[in-house]
Structures are given as structure tokens and as C-alpha cells.
Amino acid sequence: MGERKAVQLIYASGALVIAILYMKTFGWVWGFFSERAPGELLVNGTAALLAVSIAVILYRNERVFTVTNEVAAEIRKVTWPTAKETKMATLVVIVTVFVAAVILGSFDAIWSYLTDLLYK
């Protein structure tokens, strides 16, 4: 994928996320302050128009565009883990969390037993 396409994809994805957030927010605010259900086309259209406007303004802003290009260039340099490495790292995290839970649970049980002896 060309560098320009990656940057455009970042802006399009951002516009989509902003549009979804605005749709939910506008719908909630309208429902909170009005007894009538909001017009879905009005809410969705306003959110989409606002999101696209923000994306275009940011795309045309030279400083933001430069930062986005730098981010896209750095992401290309990342060495992503293989599926096997990801599975092993996930297994290590699960085992570590289990061991920590057992240790903390043991401390909690011991502390609970000691406080029951002292305060009963």
C-alpha cells in the first residue's frame, strides 16, 4: 500500500469512528431532552457530515498531515510478532495472572483468618 493510501485510510477510519460516536451521542442527547424519537436520518446525516468535515479539515492541516505521515512511516517499520509468538505470549500472561490470583487469594484467606481470630 502506498504511503498516501495509508494516510487516507487513517483519516477515513478516524472519520468513521467520529461518525459512530456522534450518532450515539446525538441520539442520546436528543432522546434525553425531547419526548419525540429523533429522526434517524437527521441524526445520522448530521453526525456523518460533521465527521467528514472534521476529517477534511484535519487532512488539509499541514501540521496534522505531517504527523500522520510520520506515524504511517513508523508503523511500516514495526516488526509484528508471528502467530506462534502471540500464542506463547498470551499463554505466559494467562499463567502469570493465574499464579498471581492464587498468591493474592492465599494472602486474603490468611489475612481473613487472622482478623477473624483477633476480632471475634
Distance CA 69, CA 66 (A): 5
Q: For the chain, what is the radius of gyration of the CA atoms?
A: 25
What percent of the chain clears pLDDT 90, i.e. is strictly above it? 42
pLDDT recorded at residue 47:
87
Split at pLDDT 50, 70, 90, the class of 24 is confident
d(CA 35, CA 28): 12
**What are the domain boundaries of the chain?**
1-78, 80-120
What CA–CA distance (Å, rounded) separates 11 from 55?
6
Give the CA count within 13 Å in the CB-facing half-sphere of 104: 6
